[in-house]
Structure 1
Amino acid sequence: MLEVTVEVLLLLIAAGFLAGFVDAIAGGGGLITLPVLIIAGANPVTALATNKIQAIFGAGTAALSYARGGHVNLREQWKSALIAGVASIAGALLISYLPTDFIRIFLPILLIGIAIFFATKKGLGDQDRVRRMTPAMFAVTMVPLCGAYDGLLGPGAGSFYMLAFVSLAGYGVLKATAHTKLLNLASNSGALLAFAFVAEPWWITGLIMGVAQIFGARLGAVLAQRIGARLIKPLLVMTSLILAIKLLWDMV
C-alpha cells in the first residue's frame, strides 16, 4: 500500500531524480531527498531509512556507469566495498548509543574545510597525484570510518569519501568520484539492512523514488565523465557548503 498521496509521490519522484543527478557527480543527494521525505510526513528515522532505499538505486547506477567507463574496477574494489558495508551496519545500529548531537556540531566545520580544500587546492584535476597511504591501509582506516558515518548519520558521507580518495589515495577527481559511488552503494546497502530491523522504511515509496534516481544518476554520471573535474569540483564545493549551512541552521 502506498504510504503517501499521489501528489506527494510526484514531488518525491522529482526529488529522487534531482538527487540522483547531483549525487552521481558530487554527492549530497540526501540534501534534497531527506527534507522532502520529512515534509511528506516521515519521522526522522523513517526518512533516513527510506532515503537509503532510493539512494541505493542512484549509487548503484552511477557506480556501474563509472565502471563501464573504466574509472573503477569492481573486482578489485569488492573488499573495500564489503568493509564499507559492514561498517555502515555498525554505524546504523549504534545510532541510539553514540553522541550524534556532539558529532553534528563538528560536521559543518569539516564540510566547510572540504569545500575550501577543493576550491583552493591547486593541481586538482582528473590526473592521479602522489599517494600518501597504501591501498591496504586506506581500506582498513578511511573506508570503515566513512562507512560507519554513512550508517550513523549519512549527510556528507560522499564528501568525506572524496576528500580521503583525493588527499590520501592520490586519486584524480573523476576517479575519486567513481570509487566514492561504489563505496556509497555498499554503505547505503549496509545501513538499509540495519534500518530494516530497527526502523520502518517506506518501502514502496522508496522503490518508486529509486527508479527516478536511476535516470538522474545515469545523466549525472554521463556528464561527469564527459566534463570531469571542471564539473565535479564546483558542484562538490557547492553541495558541501549548502549542507554545512543547513546543519548550522538546524542548530539555531
Structure 2
Amino acid sequence: MEPYVIILLCLAAFFAGFVDAIVGGGGLIQTPVAMILLPNLAVASVIGSLKVPSFSGTALAARQYLKNVEINWKLLSVMAAVAFVSAFLGSNLLTLVHNDFMKPLLLIVLSVIAVYTFIKKDFGAHQIKAYSSKKQLLFAVVMSVFIGFYDGFIGPGTGSFLVLGFVTLLGFDFLHASANAKMVNLATNFGSIFLFVLKGKIIWTIAVPMSVCNACGGWLGAKLAIKKGNQFIRVFFLIVVIGTLIRFGYDVFGF
C-alpha cells in the first residue's frame, strides 16, 4: 500500500476522533475517505478495519469524560450489554447483505432532527428528571438495540444518534449525553470488532496507525467539549447532523 494512502487515512482518523469525541459522527469523516482510498477492498473489510480506530478514539474520549462528568453506571451496564449484542448481530448481517435501503429513511430522520435542534434553542440545555426508573430503562434498552444494530450494520453517525437518544429519550443535557454516549459506543464498537476478528476481516496495517491518530483526536475533542460545555456541543451537534444530511443526500439522490 502506498505511504500517502496511510497518511491520508490517518489524517481522516484524527479529525474523525476529534468530531466523534464532541458529539459523535466521526465515522462520517473516516468512512467515506477509506471507501475512496481503498476501492479494491471488500466493504466488510474496510468497515471492520475502521472499527478499531473508532474504538481507540472513543476510549480515550471516554476517559476524559469519566474524570469530569457523572456517569449512571447502573443504566449504562444494561445499555452496554444490549448494544454489544446488537452491534455483533448488525456486523454479521453486513457481511451478508447490502445496506443502501437504510439511507432514504435516515435522510428523513436527520432532516427532522436538524430542524428541531435549530428551532428549539433549549434542546439539550439541561437535564430533565421527569422519567421513572422503569421508563428510563425501557427507553435505554430500545435505544441500545436499534442504535447498536445500526452501528454494526452501517455505522457512520452512531455517536450522534446516541447523543440524540440520551437527550430526547432519557432527558440528559448535551454534556452528560456526550459522556454517556461514549460508554455505549465503546460497547457497540467492541461488539463489531469481536465479529470482524472472528471473520478475519480486519486489516491491521491500516487499523493500528489510524487508531493512534483517532485516539489523539478523541483526546483533544473531549477536552474541548468539557471546557466549552452545552452550547458549544449543541452547535457542533447541529453542524454534524447537517453534514450527515448532505452525506446521505448525496448517496440517495446523487447530488
- Same-fold status (TM-score > 0.5): yes
Gap runs ≥5 in structure 1:
none
List per-residue Cα deviations over 1:34-56 (Å, max 9, x = no partner). Answer: 12212222432222111111100
Runs of 4+ in 1 over 6 A off after TM superposition: none
Q: Report what 1:205 is aligned to.
A: 206
Q: Is the 8 A contact 1:84 1:143 kept in 2?
A: yes
Q: Report what 1:188 is aligned to.
A: 189
Question: What is the CA-CA distance between 1:70 and the residue it aligns to?
Answer: 2.5
Give the AA of the match of 2:89. A
Q: Is the 8 A contact 1:126 1:175 kept in 2?
A: no
Q: Is the 8 A contact 1:71 1:174 kept in 2?
A: no
TM-score under structure 2 length normalisation: 0.90
Mapped partners of 1:241, 1:83: distance in 2: 29
Match for residue 4 of structure 2 among 4, 7, 14:
7
Question: What is the CA-CA distance between 1:239 and the residue it aligns to?
Answer: 1.2
Q: Report what 1:175 is aligned to.
A: 176
| Aligned length, in residue pairs | 249
TM-score under structure 1 length normalisation: 0.91
Gap runs ≥5 in structure 2:
none
Question: What is the CA-CA distance between 1:102 and the residue it aligns to?
Answer: 2.4
What SS does the aligned partner of 2:171 have? coil
Change (3 A) 1:98 1:141: farther
Identity of matched residues, %: 34
List per-residue Cα deviations over 1:35-81 (Å, max 9, x = no partner). Answer: 22122224322221111111000111111111111332456522221
Q: Report what 1:89 is aligned to.
A: 88
- The Cα RMSD (Å) is 1.9
What SS does the aligned partner of 1:129 have? coil
List per-residue Cα deviations over 1:2-60 (Å, max 9, x = no partner). Answer: xx322221111111111110000011111111122122224322221111111000111
1:80 aligns with 2:64: no
What SS does the aligned partner of 2:126 have? coil
Mapped partners of 1:96, 1:148: distance in 2: 13
The 10-residue stretch of structure 1 (43-52 or 173-182) with the greater mean CA deviation from structure 2 = 43-52
What SS does the aligned partner of 1:94 have? helix
Change (3 A) 1:96 1:104: farther
Mapped partners of 1:70, 1:246: distance in 2: 32
Q: Report what 1:165 is aligned to.
A: 166
List per-residue Cα deviations over 1:128-159 (Å, max 9, x = no partner). Answer: 12445633212321111111111111122222
Match for residue 34 of structure 1 among 31, 34, 59:
31
Question: What is the CA-CA distance between 1:213 and the residue it aligns to?
Answer: 1.1
The 10-residue stretch of structure 1 (131-140 or 8-17) with the greater mean CA deviation from structure 2 = 131-140
